[in-house]
A and B are shown apart, each in its own frame.
Chain A
Amino acid sequence: MWKIFWRRFRRNKLAMLGALIIFSLAVVAVIAPLIAPFNPNQQDILHRLEPPSHKHLLGTDDLGRDLLSRIVYGTRVSLFVGFVAVGIAIMIGSLLGLISGYFGGRLDSLIMRFVDIMLCFPTFFLILMVIAFLEPNIWNVMVVIGITGWPGLTRLVRGECLSVREREFVQAAKALGLSNRRVMFVHLLPNVMAPILVSATLGIGGAILTESALSFLGLGVQPPTPSWGNILTAGKDYITLAWWLSLYPGLAILITVLAYNLLGEGLRDVLDPRMMAE
Chain B
Amino acid sequence: MEKILEVKNLSVEFYKGGKVIPALRDVSITLKENEVLGIVGESGCGKSTLALAILKLIPEREGKIVSGEVLFKREELLSLSDEKLLKVRGDRISIIFQDPFTSLNPLFRIGNQIAESLALHRKENLSTYQIEEEIIELLELVKMSKPKDTMLSYPHQLSGGMQQRVMIAMALSSNPEVLIADEPTTALDVTIQKEILGLLTELQKKLGLSVVLITHDFGIVAQTCQRVSVMYAGSIVEEASTSEIFHNPLHPYTKGLLESLPSREESRDFSQGEKRRLRAISGQVPDPSNLPSGCKFHPRCPIVIEQCKPEEPRLREIIQNHWVRCIRAG
Seen from chain A, the residues whose Cβ lies within 8 Å of a Cβ on chain B are 1, 104-105, 167-169, 171-179, 186-187, 190-191
Q: Give B66-110 interface residues, CB cut-off 8 Å to A.
A: 86-91, 94-95, 97-99, 102-107
A184 to B105, CA, bound (A): 12
A171 to B87, CA, bound (A): 16
Task: Look across to chain A and name the residue whose beta carbon is closest to the beta carbon of B112.
Answer: A186
Is residue B40 within 8 Å, beta carbon to beta carbon, of the partner chain?
A: no
Interfacial chain B residues near A191, Cβ < 8 Å? 105-107
Known: A104-B61, A105-B61. A178 touches B120 (CB 8 A): yes
B102-136 CB mask vs A (1 if < 8 Å, else 0) is 11111100000000110011000000000000000
- Chain B nearest CB from A212 CB (Å) reads 37
In the complex, the answer to whether B89 meets A169 with C-beta atoms within 8 Å is: no
In the complex, the answer to whether B103 meets A177 with C-beta atoms within 8 Å is: no
A172 to B167, CA, bound (A): 9
A167 to B102, CA, bound (A): 6
In the complex, the answer to whether A176 meets B57 with C-beta atoms within 8 Å is: no
Interfacial chain B residues near A179, Cβ < 8 Å? 86
In the complex, the answer to whether B116 meets A177 with C-beta atoms within 8 Å is: no
Q: How many A-B residue pairs have CB under 8 A?
A: 63
Q: Is the interface of A mostly helix, strand, loop or mixed?
A: helix
- Chain B nearest CB from A163 CB (Å) reads 12
Is residue B170 within 8 Å, beta carbon to beta carbon, of the partner chain?
A: yes
Interfacial chain A residues near B90, Cβ < 8 Å? 175-178
Task: Look across to chain A and name the residue whose beta carbon is closest to the beta carbon of B102.
Answer: A168
Known: A179-B86, A186-B116. A174 touches B57 (CB 8 A): yes
In the complex, the answer to whether B57 meets A177 with C-beta atoms within 8 Å is: no
A177 to B99, CA, bound (A): 19
Interfacial chain B residues near A104, Cβ < 8 Å? 61
Is residue B154 within 8 Å, beta carbon to beta carbon, of the partner chain?
A: yes
In the complex, the answer to whether B154 meets A169 with C-beta atoms within 8 Å is: no
In the complex, the answer to whether B87 meets A175 with C-beta atoms within 8 Å is: no
Known: A168-B97, A191-B107. A176 touches B102 (CB 8 A): no
Q: Known pairs A175-B97, A190-B105; list 20 more (Cβ under 8 Å).
A: A1-B107, A105-B60, A168-B97, A168-B98, A168-B99, A168-B102, A171-B57, A174-B57, A175-B55, A175-B90, A175-B94, A175-B95, A176-B89, A176-B120, A176-B170, A177-B88, A177-B120, A177-B174, A179-B86, A191-B107
